[in-house]
Structure 1
Amino acid sequence: MTPSQRFLAKLGLKDPVPESHEDQQPESTGHNSRRSFLKRTTLGGIALGTASALWPVEDLIAQTTQKVSRYSNPSDLRITDMRYCIIQNVGRTPIIRIDTNQGIYGLGEVRDGADERYALMLKSRILNQNPCNVEMLFKTVKQFGGHARQGGGVSAVEMALWDLCGKAYNVPVWQLLGGRYRDKVRLYADTPEAPNFEEFKKRVKHRIEDQGMTWLKMDISIGEVKALEGALVNSKFWGSNLAQWQGGYMDYANIKHPFTAIQITEKGLDGMAQIVSDVRSAVGYEIPISSDHYGHFDLNNAIRWGKKVEPFRLAWLEDMVPWEFTDQYKKMSDALETPVLTGEDIYLLSGFKPLIDTGSVDIVHPDLATAGGILETKRIGDYAEEKGVAMAMHFAGSPVSFMANVHCAAATQNFLALEHHSLDNPWWESLVKTLDGKKLFEKGYAQVPNTPGLGIELVEEEVKKHLLPTNKTYFAPTPEWNDIRSHDRLWS
């Protein structure tokens, strides 16, 4: 009796009947016979240690994993292309698609308002690589990212790699991050604009009761009181609009807060505070209200403003001064009772560490499409959690980045709320379909999917309706970005 026959006898099984004439080979060369045995029996993982001495490891693995559902053979996946389109969302939002040799692809998004070339220049660094090696590829390309929109390319690639990896292994991205803490993700949205206070109250009621929002954020700027005589000091030097996002290099919009010399008088502070009071009276005190976009004025005026609105118990004061002034955030945080927050323009965990380590912020606020993508944003949250700092998430993009945020938020314990900047956009959700057929969000909460990857696919006909008029490209091949033309190592 051969060793194989003795093993079969112990299991109460007969020698397998060959599947074809070609399988009738001597036991000494019976690879097909062993394969046939594994196919015909229910051995699976039974007596694996004993069986491994008799059959090749690859046969045993094939047998024991035959019921594992995958969309591909992950170890043989290779990146073959990176393509893009640009939709008219918050100005412009590029979406990238990373294709592979096995027909599956991953979706990512360059941050709103950024250039698709931040991502396309990375194609040559990841071409022909296995997309499931997410960390290695991230470390390869992260040197080409930067703060604010410059982090958009690296973050887009990282999102798409996780989407691919989840599809390859047939699991949701949150599972690849270590599992989830929640099955739905709380959203926050802007307070609605209105021509008068009565209309504002109606729209707030719609926001809360119909749309189901349980967290709101309001913009309150010195621009609200610029027409009030005696409200501001030195504002007329900068012109009449005090726009925060337009202008040349030396215009008000691009001068950092400490350098404008604008001050707010008590009359100005009272006028701004009255607006906060009105909003709080319309919303009530059960729902958190955050605040943002105050204009460009210095630390001392920021502290005066923060103290003025303390009675209204705002959830946070956002980006009062530029994020890189850690010492100023420390002074502000020490001086105020209202939580201080920043982070939407910070790239990588290393950029957040000074603020967290010094206790300069009460809440971190990364934008996943700037911060470095899904895993890096989770790392930011995890690091902040160790220091007793919570994490909210800034977001103003398409459903692609939205779902990347949802997976990250589900897997991060100290998460508070995720911004939804397109709540009133009627076509925003139609850009994608979910793999489980559920809505992206409902009644103020996003659904955490149990489907592979990010859990969404683009709806081609809908996306094409909203392409940027000046660039109608829809995922065309990009061979011009294939070649590496530099030596990238940062050390000698």
Structure 2
Amino acid sequence: MTTDTTTPTEQNVNTASRPSQLRITDMKITNLVGVPFRSSIIRLETNQGIVGYGEVRDGASASYALLLKSRLIGENPCNLDKIFRKIRQFGFHGRQGGGVCGIEMALMDLAGKAYGVPAYALVGGKFRDRVRCYADTPTELDPQTMGARLLERRSRGFTMLKMDVGINLLRNTPGTLIAPDGAFEDDDLMHPFTGIQVTQKGVEQLAAFVEEVRSIVGYDIALAADHFGHIALDSCIRIGRALEPYTLAWIEDLIPWQFTDQWRQLTEAVAVPTCTGEDIYLAENFEPLLAAEAIRIVHPDPATSGGIAETKRLGNRAEEKGIAMALHLAASPVATMASVHLAAATHNFLALEHHAADVPFWNDLVTGLPNPIIHDGHIDVPDKPGLGFDDVNEELFAEHLDPRAPLLFADTAEWDNEHAHDRLWS
């Protein structure tokens, strides 16, 4: 004879799980390519059968997440703050933050499912029902072609666009660039140290490029610019001033984020919003830029900046300084939906990057969302528990596995017993 141990109240409530008894039992990984770039999808499994999904940042190593597996097994994913404090020390700037952030997304997915609430509810609720997306578009050397590609995105309903405008457009035009031998081949040399200068002819050519693109897409749509090249501050200022007539939404990452004083000088010198932050890990490391009011728009990538809760904290701090927050992203729908919940819960949110406008199968990588996921340039904020999609499409995942690691949610038992003395104090 079986005994029903539930209380009368519980018998009349659809409980998502037993949150206080939930434990992480396993982590599995799938490495995908072309979604739009290389991404590693994390699946955290539990003793109650519910799973949570996260995504390591594009181009990062899945090992950044795997090394944390032994620190997660046995933990209750609903203890979001506790676990984040435990693992945050293992992230860093750029792609090195990808493991911690992908796990944070998966924890949010699990906790939301355990409590039966959407992820945005775990960080204070939502300010909006739809999240505006901006469509990134790769470089075209011809401004007519660039304009046509952007116009096609506008025809899909996007209300904000981004293009690349940089020294790659000048490489074949004599008299536009001054550079030491080999300067263009050394990608690891930071901008102030390359010795590359843009001449007045080069500045005028870039301005003419933007002017022609603007004439095609119109002045009634937001248009941002990125990937200017590894050039020093003085050239950045001259370019920024030349682009003022075209009312750009922002100019992005002209110099490395680490150089706060240079960002302040650039921001004060040009009447175009300045924007950076995609490679900064944790809210505290944005503080120099915010305190100096060195940028007009803060631009974290949630797959580097700390995931949902940490990036919301950053947004709150930026709002106090009068700075809007846009979100950088190049990801599958997994990290995209994590970013949607973050955007919904952040008051000063501006727009979320979409880097997969040319990936035909992108919408089908997850199930249980509207198809297409983006319509009229926006994503509806889902009210389903966790990140809001039902599951991943394993059949489609299998068609896009990284050939260097072609296993679907591969077993990761070799990481079960990885251990070190992690405490940072004696």
**SS at structure 2 position matched to 1:419:** strand
Aligned to 2:375: 442
Residues 187-209 of structure 1: per-residue CA shift (max 9 Å, x gap):
00124666755554443332112
Which residue does 2:158 correspond to in 1?
213
Shift of 1:177: 1.3
Cα distance in 1, alignment partners of residues 141 and 242 from structure 2: 25
Gaps of at least 5 residues in structure 1 are 1-19, 23-31, 36-57, 243-250
Query: 1:313 Cα shift?
Result: 1.2
Corresponding residue number in structure 2 for 1:350: 284
TM-superposed deviation, 1:108: 0.4
Letter in 1 for 2:227: H
Q: Structure 2 CA distance, aligned partners of 1:255 and 1:162?
A: 37
**Residue number in structure 2 paired with 1:398:** 332
- TM-score of the pair, normalised by structure 1: 0.83
Work out whether residues 163 and 454 of structure 1, in 8 Å CA contact, stay in contact via their aligned partners in 2.
Answer: yes
Letter in 2 for 1:189: A
**How far does residue 411 in structure 1 lie from its aligned partner after superposition?**
0.5
**1:157 and 2:103 equivalent?**
yes
Conserved? CA contact 1:69–1:169, under 8 Å: no
Residue number in structure 2 paired with 1:126 = 72
Identical counterparts, % of pairs: 49
Q: Where does residue 87 of structure 2 map in the other structure?
A: 141
Whichever residue aligns with residue 424 of structure 1, its letter is D
Q: Which amino acid aligns with 1:78?
A: R
In structure 2, the residue matched to 1:298 is 232
CA distance in 2, matches of 1:425, 1:411: 28
Taking the TM superposition and a 5 Å limit, the aligned residue runs for 1:61-460 are: 62-89=7-34, 90-191=36-137, 196-209=142-155, 211-234=156-179, 237-238=181-182, 242=184, 251-434=185-368, 439-456=372-389, 457-460=391-394
Note if contact 1:99-1:106 (Cα within 8 Å) is conserved in structure 2: yes
Q: Does the aligned pair in 2 maintain the 1:192–1:204 contact within 8 Å?
A: no
Q: Counterpart of 2:70 in 1: which secondary structure?
A: helix
Segments of structure 2 that go 5 or more residues without pairing to the other structure are none
Distance in 2, Cα, partners of 1:357 & 1:391: 15
Distance 1:259 1:486 in 2: 38
Q: CA, structure 1 residues 201+264, in 2 after alignment: closer, same or farther (shift >3 Å)?
A: closer
Question: Aligned to 1:454, what secondary structure does the other structure show?
Answer: coil
Q: Do the aligned residues in 1 keep the contact of 2:178 with 2:198 (CA within 8 Å)?
A: yes
Native 8 Å contact 1:439 1:447 kept in 2:
no
Aligned residues: 424
Asked whether the 8 Å contact 2:29–2:41 carries over to 1, the reply is: yes
Distance in 1 separating the partners of 2:101 and 2:149: 35
Q: Deviations over 1:100-157 (max 9, x none)?
A: 0010010000000000000000011111110110110000000000000000000011
1:65 deviation in Å? Answer: 4.9
Which amino acid is the alignment partner of residue 313 of structure 1? T
1:136 counterpart SS class: helix
Change (3 A) 1:201 1:361: closer
Query: Contact 2:158–2:376 at 8 Å: present in 1 too?
Result: yes
| Alpha-carbon offset, residue 484 of structure 1 | 4.0
